[in-house]
Amino acid sequence: MQMYHTSLDLVRERSPEHPVAIARPAAASLAARWFQDNFKGDVFYAVKANPSPWVIKALAENGVSAFDVASVPEIALVRAHAPDARLAFMHPVKSRASIRAAYFDHGVRTFALDTHEELEKILETTEGAQDLNLIVRLAVQTEGAAYSLAGKFGVDLNQAPSLLLAARRATQDLMGVSFHVGSQCMRPTAYSAAMAQASRALVRAGVLADVVDVGGGFPSIYPGMTPPALDDYFDAIQRGFAEMMVHENTELWCEPGRALVAEASSIVTCVELRKDDALYLNDGAYGGLFDAAHARWPFPVKAMRRTEHGAEVLDGPLRPFRFFGPTCDAIDYMPGPFWLPEDVAEGDFIEIGMLGAYGVTMATRFNGFGDIETVACEDAPAASMFGLARRSIPVPRSETQNVVSLNKARGRKRRRK
């Protein structure tokens, strides 16, 4: 990837015709180290959040040695860039061909499930293997997430005991439980509440879990959404873990996606037309701005303009804007509000921050659009959950005020219970 110091340097040098994704590997590296230092268990990166090779490499080089995968292509991707990594196939519904390839071709031993039928499928396809790690996904009741993930996956807690018992009997290796409190969870207590529900299901089944996987859902910062410190989430998880009916060697896992990579990328788009408060961009809902359209999140934005002598960041009074993408579909619409200088105009560039998770990952080729180049920048992300004091990312003086630090640098060492 070509390297620039800031996104302004990109605009100054190239005036890009198509959307450009800005990769900030240093931000992913910092997040990886922070999770490794502070979460008292094993960290599995949820590859679905951003499967870019540079992300896999940055995380692996900074201590993340386990990955949550949902398909054989994701397995192959991780094997290509982190060949010695531990892989957990955490999609609860898999084809027999996918199970077979994961187990026999790629050495995957950890599989999630939420039905007796899926358990039988795994056992039959792996030819009765006894070295399986079987993780039963539970449907827990939670509140406080921007995206609820309830309804599609997870065994109902009333039916969970029989499945837990069957999974326990099916393997001589690890049997565990997992759940997901929802994406962008804003309540740390959601984790401890879910762990209490998981503990009751285990007690009713009369089995002990070797693994408690608290899933993902760890939040990032967006305008209007300032979550509690990640320390508070980890403290709630530790309290919940201490109260669970598990044995002293039970392993604690988590599957962060958004929290590890949201800060690590942004997208630079160009204004193709302005209609009062509506800006028509060359990227949108079918490209890297899926969450801005469908979740209606008002991502942080910065406007830049080419000048006779290079480029400048626009300043001055702000006003709210709406965005429309380049396709002819009316739902290619991002309501915002996105606060930008009131004189923003056609030909200006807008950097939309905090798009490392579910940004370019969601891009399609609809209407012939979708070309997104990736370059790297050395500057800081628009906001950070991980603090300035410990960051290795250069923070230009002009951008320091935009960086939000929420976490206490406790320096706690990772350990198993």
Q: Tell me the CATH number at 125.
A: 3.20.20.10
The yes-or-no verdict on residue 164 having pLDDT over 60 is yes
For residues 135-147, give the mean pLDDT.
79
CA-based torsion, 17, 301, 26, 39: positive or negative: negative
pLDDT score of 145:
53
Residue 35 host element (H or E): helix 25-38
Token pair 């900074």 is at which residue? 62
pLDDT score of 297:
87
Residue 28 — φ and ψ, nearest 5°? -65, -40
Cα–Cα distance for residue pair 250/175, rounded to 1 Å: 10
- The band of 245, judged by pLDDT with boundaries at 50, 70 and 90, is confident
Residue 229 falls within a domain, yes or no? yes
Let me know whether 30 and 12 are in one domain. no
In the numeric block, which tokens belong to residue 247? Answer: 């044995």
Q: Are 5 and 379 in contact (CB under 8 A)?
A: yes
Beta strand pairing call for 251-254 and 333-341: unpaired
Q: What is the 3-state secondary structure (H, E, C) of 222-261?
A: ECCECCCCHHHHHHHHHHHHHHCCCCCCCEEEECCCHHHH
In the numeric block, which tokens belong to residue 388? Answer: 């300035």
pLDDT digits (tens, 9 = 90+) for 399-411: 333 333 333 333 3
Cα–Cα distance for residue pair 206/201, rounded to 1 Å: 9
- The band of 148, judged by pLDDT with boundaries at 50, 70 and 90, is low
The yes-or-no verdict on residue 388 having pLDDT over 50 is no
Let me know whether 15 and 68 are in one domain. no
pLDDT score of 68:
98
Can you give the CATH number for the domain in which 364 is found? 2.40.37.10
Mean pLDDT of the chain: 90
For residues 376-396, give the mean pLDDT.
67
- Residue 277: strand, helix, or coil: coil
Q: 164-167 — which CB contacts under 8 Å span 24+ positions?
A: 164/136, 164/201, 164/202, 164/205, 164/207, 164/209, 165/205, 165/206, 165/207, 166/116, 166/119, 167/113, 167/119, 167/134, 167/136
- Residue 169: strand, helix, or coil: helix
For residues 17-45, give the mean pLDDT.
96
Residue 414 falls within a domain, yes or no? no
Let me know whether 96 and 224 are in one domain. yes
Let me know whether 42 and 151 are in one domain. yes
Domain count of the fold of the chain: 2
Instruction: Kindly state the percentage of the chain with pLDDT values over 70.
Output: 91
The pTM assigned to this predicted structure is 0.89
For residues 224-237, give the mean pLDDT.
94
pLDDT score of 150:
62
pLDDT digits (tens, 9 = 90+) for 332-371: 999 999 999 999 999 999 999 999 999 998 999 999 898 8
pLDDT score of 295:
87
Cα–Cα distance for residue pair 347/17, rounded to 1 Å: 10
Let me know whether 236 and 274 are in one domain. no
The yes-or-no verdict on residue 197 having pLDDT over 60 is yes
For residues 21-28, give the mean pLDDT.
96
